[in-house]
Structure 1
Amino acid sequence: MRLVDRYLLRELLIPLGYCLFGFLIFWISFDLFAEMHAFQEKGSPAGEIVWYYVIKTPELLTVVMPIALLLALLYALTNHSRHNELVALRGAGVSLGRISLPYLGVGVVFSLALFALNELWVPKTVEASREILHRSESSQSALGPGRWQSSLSFHNARAGRFWYIGAFNLDTYEMKSPHVSWQLPDMSNRSLIATNALRTNGCWVFYDVQEFVYLSGGKFEDNPSPTRTNILAVPEFAETPEQIKSEIKINRLKSIKTAKEAQLSISEIFDYLKLHPELSRDSYALLHTQLHSRLAWPWTCLVVVLIALPFGAASGRRSAFVGVASSIFICFTFFVLLRLSLALGTSGLIPPWLAAWFPNVLFSAVGIAMTARAR
């Protein structure tokens, strides 16, 4: 690494650290005011609130990282420009493209880190923070220890099985009052109704089971009598607890009230699409827009580098506060365009890939064009 690269990185990383910390504190404060009523209603102690925001930090970082990087870049570049350091470098034969390499490297690292956060940690921490926020709900406390989801329906379209679950434990994967129905090759229908079920060694085991068989085209009285058994293992049920949990998240995503609580990883979306090869138009638009959004959002960190270069590297003695004002304007414009684009994609008015990638492509193209003119 050249001496100039180390200098540029040092001058960027210092304000970047301050911006990350400052924006994180701001977002936590903003969220605390929004959730204060819920904390007061359940009488949450200070320790629980602190732990809630420790768990929620990865989710907040996914929003804070691009904004902090943009502000730090504009601040650093404006400072360099104000002291004519960029002019001196360019006069020494260093192109603006070469000057931007360490910044682009930081953008790529931030993009990969943001992708890892979204895929590996954020879905889990969102569920954990949601559990803290709703821990005192009486409807779930009567079911036993752990986190419970009541009244769940789950359809495996590929295998043709319908699951109706009275309550599902998100931690132990225990089921209360499961009811599974599917069609056999001879067109007869089979149903299992049990008191509870557990996942053991990769196999669903049902307890206190009643089994019903309904013959195709026959009269009701011709159907065999239901059989009853204490324990029944059904290895052919390939549905995994993770797939059932993804179904819960998808249902939240479809609800206006709980949509903001749903955070899906790319693998969870793919699992759902495998089980539901034939989706309605609305579900297709919603899920594929979410999928492309998860792929596109991390690269926002690289986009902000491309858009910050021409704004921050413009020649002239300008105040560093110009960089702050520019970052506010750019962030506002980008987020408005992003929300509008995703709304159009979710409603099916534009293709999902275009809805997710259009803001990134547009701002990248504008940044590259303005950088080329600045040369």
Structure 2
Amino acid sequence: MTLDFFPSRTLTLYLAKMFSLRILAVLVMLVLVLMMLDLLSTSGEILAVPGNSEAELWLYASLRVPLLIQRFLPYSVLLATIITLVTLNQNSEVIAMKAAGLSAHQVLAPLIMTALVVALGSFAFNERIVTRSAAQLNVWEKSEFGALPQTPETSGVIYLDDGPNILTARSYDSSGPAPTLRDVTYYRFSPSGEITQQSDADLAIRGANGWAMQNPRIFTVGTASVAQPLELVVAPDVTPQQVELASVDPTAQPLWQLDDSIAAYKAAGRDADELEANYWHKISGPLSAVLMPILGAVAGFGLARSGQLFVRALIGMALGFAYFVIDNAALAMGNFGGYPPFLAAWAPFFLFLLIGETVLVRTEE
């Protein structure tokens, strides 16, 4: 066994190129299949909107594909690891490398470094491309695939308490002369908790005394009457800052912007556990690609003629998919406050790093 971490330059480039091509092939296959299935279930809803055509289907695909790449890139690295190592094992290349004095870690080193490059690229892609696609797609879905808002600062659905009453809106826009809410509904409640009045309006503009609903339709429950004044001012205590905090979507904000949102949540005295868990997961999520060569390494060793190669591939696949299951469960627990946010994002990563290293060392080193 040599003290060098990498094998020779030629072998390193050979393994890295083989691994990279398989990652790309698996990713393209997964994204194409999943995108087609997604379109089968969504295209009818998109085309049902008057004015939508094939162009809107392409727009939906262009917004959805980055989200699919973000989600399934680690899966692609896992499957590419197993395919690459099984191929090397069947061709007796792993045996040749080990006979030349390379350890299991040296055989995996080019794959791990390739996965690290993929993880760094995935992080940059997520923060620059995926966040914008997620923000635009969320707004479009909330508008039921109608006309997309022109401003990029439009946020998602808002639900806020105004004392005993409730203010809801489909979107918020802070880019104009005054902050505005669209598709607004304001519910007035009695002291016993029953709805006494419901007011609906397409637009509400923030003024000095509250949110001015334009041409509202006011339904009073007690008298079953409907009124339609030119303007109705509601929710004087609901500030634009509260609306912005209520509409924060961690998947649609880059890391640096999410950090500001977390600070604003804490300054307002609100629970920021969900945002913090997603903040740390923006780093640990892409980095999970580095784990995949270690978890799938069991598929690359052992004699191909022993009849256990398929079993080893299944074990590697099971370890990888177990990581994704536990990672999603831990993140969900972190969102609900069951785990500290940092632990929710990083505990599965380090747990499976130890499991993968233990399996590798015990079986091959």
- TM-score in terms of structure 1 length: 0.68
Which of these residues, 128, 131, 155, is aligned with residue 123 of structure 1?
Answer: 131
**CA deviation digits over 1:327-371, x for unaligned, max 9?**
653343222212221222222222221111121111111111122
Which of these residues, 4, 7, 16, is aligned with residue 9 of structure 1?
Answer: 16
Structure 2 vs 1, CA of residues 82 and 365 (structure 1 numbering), >3 Å: closer, same or farther?
same
Which of these residues, 304, 307, 321, is aligned with residue 332 of structure 1?
Answer: 321
The structural deviation recorded for 1:57 is 1.8
Q: Given the alignment of the two structures, is residue 302 of structure 1 paired with residue 310 of structure 2, yes or no?
A: no
Q: Which amino acid is 2:290 matched to?
A: L
What residue in structure 1 maps to residue 100 of structure 2?
A: 92
Q: Given the alignment of the two structures, is residue 360 of structure 1 paired with residue 364 of structure 2, yes or no?
A: no
1: CA distance, partners of 2:170 / 2:77: 47
The structural deviation recorded for 1:278 is 4.8
In structure 2, stretches of 5+ residues that fail to align are 1-7, 162-167, 181-203, 214-238
**CA deviation digits over 1:265-322, x for unaligned, max 9?**
32232111222325667x2322222222222111110011221223333333368766
1: CA distance, partners of 2:309 / 2:17: 17
2: CA distance, partners of 1:72 / 1:83: 17
Q: Given the alignment of the two structures, is residue 175 of structure 1 paired with residue 163 of structure 2, yes or no?
A: no
What residue in structure 2 maps to residue 23 of structure 1?
A: 30
Structure 2 vs 1, CA of residues 131 and 97 (structure 1 numbering), >3 Å: closer, same or farther?
same
What residue in structure 1 maps to residue 188 of structure 2?
A: none
Q: Which amino acid is 2:103 matched to?
A: S
2: CA distance, partners of 1:131 / 1:50: 17
Q: How does 1:151-190 map to 2 (within 5 A)?
A: 168-169=172-173, 175-176=179-180, 178-179=205-206
What residue in structure 1 maps to residue 121 of structure 2?
A: 113
Structure 2 vs 1, CA of residues 326 and 54 (structure 1 numbering), >3 Å: closer, same or farther?
farther
In structure 1, stretches of 5+ residues that fail to align are 156-163, 181-190, 197-236, 254-261
2: CA distance, partners of 1:302 / 1:173: 47
CA contact (8 A) 1:342 1:355 kept: yes
The structural deviation recorded for 1:326 is 4.5
- TM-score in terms of structure 2 length: 0.69
2: CA distance, partners of 1:166 / 1:38: 19
The structural deviation recorded for 1:31 is 2.3
The structural deviation recorded for 1:192 is 6.0
What residue in structure 1 maps to residue 164 of structure 2?
A: none
1: CA distance, partners of 2:248 / 2:260: 12
Q: How does 1:27-42 map to 2 (within 5 A)?
A: 27-42=34-49
CA contact (8 A) 1:75 1:323 kept: no
1: CA distance, partners of 2:312 / 2:36: 24
Q: Which amino acid is 2:247 matched to?
A: I
Secondary structure of 1:100's counterpart equals: helix
Q: How many residues align?
A: 302
Secondary structure of 1:27's counterpart equals: helix
Secondary structure of 2:24's counterpart equals: helix
Structure 2 vs 1, CA of residues 92 and 24 (structure 1 numbering), >3 Å: closer, same or farther?
same
Q: How does 1:210-359 map to 2 (within 5 A)?
A: 247-250=246-249, 262-278=251-267, 283-317=271-305, 325-326=314-315, 328-359=317-348
Q: Which amino acid is 2:118 matched to?
A: F
Structure 2 vs 1, CA of residues 351 and 113 (structure 1 numbering), >3 Å: closer, same or farther?
same
The structure showing larger relative contact order (alpha-carbon pairs under 8 Å, at least 6 residues apart) is 1
2: CA distance, partners of 1:137 / 1:19: 31
Q: Which amino acid is 1:41 matched to?
A: A
CA RMSD of aligned residues (A): 3.8
Structure 1 range deviating more: 110-119 or 31-40: 31-40
**CA deviation digits over 1:152-171, x for unaligned, max 9?**
6899xxxxxxxx99974376
